[in-house]
Structure 1
């Protein structure tokens, strides 16, 4: 099997447009992983830095925490992507083999199932439904794919990205884009004076880099998905701002309630 996996049936209409399918099918899986991993990386790391800033943790300790979180979270996301992708492929392959065996061993039963779908779901007449079944059954591969789409909601598509590749792409996108919140913070830390003003500048720079990273990712997603690019970018940025605000406020409130726990 080569990359056969589940897609929502609502997407089947786009498969009729050969040009769009050729344009998107080769890279859509990678784009999905990059956007998901990159956004999660930016938001996770911005939340960690914001929480540390709200809790008044020292810059050096913040960097140690965030770097550890970056690598551990990236590995966790990559491994999760690998496991979920492999499980999906294994499920689709098992269903494909089962349906393929039934088509060979019980062709009349499979024809009857498709006949019922045509007449009950699509309201074809019995004669037209019978003709459709007989016509499609002449091409066993087409019949199998069509039957799996109608019965199980599974579209068999070509996807060159193996579970290992998806895991590696997830790890890379999480680390690269997740580093955005750290760039400004580390840059400010290297020349900081240790004052409160320096900390404020460091956090502000971190927030700025995080918003820029989120907006860039949103703009890229909007361009690829043929959506309004600025709207997509602003929605991503808004997500980052809300996440950072919640994390910063949580750290600030806890340190206000328990000042003796200050590091």
Structure 2
């Protein structure tokens, strides 16, 4: 295959992958936030429904949970990515320092790592020679082999946190929508169940596409988690209703 044809095939291959989409880099964050948003907010709604609390209490508790947890999830995603990046840079500096001060030991570690991969004899020595001829490549290899870390080229930790926040906020609001549409006096819980079911199904299918697993698997898993969580919350609401005197 010619270089031009190979480049065309590579371009087509990348276009078929999720990162070829404008939302590609953020899909994981949105799905992660959306799933937690739906489940936690619906758990609050189910708990208040089980306790027979008023429309106003559902709105107050639901919105407080939704907004506070959305901020917490977004901040958590941001800090996780930033801390991982900072840790990588710190360890990389240590590896570069060790390469400068004790190159023979570091070279032997490369040799052991590639011997464990099946390299031997001249092939092993050739691989070691190539890797250790470039200090940055040498240090990057040590990071992968010794620490199990690969440098992330994505430095947009804040945007990943924002995607998680928005996913949580938008999808997490679904269980509360019936309570805003049909005010006090209506039995809104069945509508909340229906809306939550549809939202969880959508998130589950999207997760299956992202992880390239069978469509029904992701959907069923997320629906099961949502059902179990809501059942527990509803049961707690029913059980503690008389104790709390509501």
Which TM class, normalised by the smaller chain length? 0.7 to 0.9
1:117 aligns with 2:103: no
After superposition, what is the alpha-carbon deviation per residue over 1:133-162, rounded to whole angstroms, capped at 9, x for unaligned? Answer: 002223333322222111110112311422
Aligned position for 1:252: 238
- Greater shift, 59-68 or 102-111, is seen at 102-111
Aligned position for 1:179: 173
Structure 1's unaligned 5+ residue stretches are 1-16
Aligned position for 2:159: 165
1:128 aligns with 2:96: no
Q: How far does residue 235 in structure 1 lie from its aligned partner after superposition?
A: 1.9
Aligned position for 1:212: 198
Two-structure CA RMSD over aligned residues (Å): 2.4
Change beyond 3 A, Cα 1:140–1:93: same
2:52 to 56, 72, 75: 56
Q: How far does residue 180 in structure 1 lie from its aligned partner after superposition?
A: 0.8
Work out the number of aligned pairs and report it. Answer: 234
Aligned position for 1:4: none
Counterparts of 1:20 and 1:101, CA distance in 2 = 37
Q: How far does residue 95 in structure 1 lie from its aligned partner after superposition?
A: 0.7
Counterparts of 1:87 and 1:22, CA distance in 2 = 31
After superposition, what is the alpha-carbon deviation per residue over 1:207-256, rounded to whole angstroms, capped at 9, x for unaligned? Answer: 1111111110111111222222233122212211111111111101111x
Structure 2's unaligned 5+ residue stretches are 1-9
1:228 to 199, 205, 214: 214
1:141 aligns with 2:136: yes
1:41 aligns with 2:37: yes
Counterparts of 1:71 and 1:118, CA distance in 2 = 50
Q: Is the 8 A contact 2:202 2:219 kept in 1?
A: yes
Q: Is the 8 A contact 1:215 1:236 kept in 2?
A: yes
Q: Is the 8 A contact 1:149 1:155 kept in 2?
A: yes
Counterparts of 1:92 and 1:31, CA distance in 2 = 24
Large movers: runs of 4+ above 4 Å: 17-22, 24-29
TM-score (norm 1): 0.80
Q: How far does residue 28 in structure 1 lie from its aligned partner after superposition?
A: 5.8
Counterparts of 1:22 and 1:218, CA distance in 2 = 21
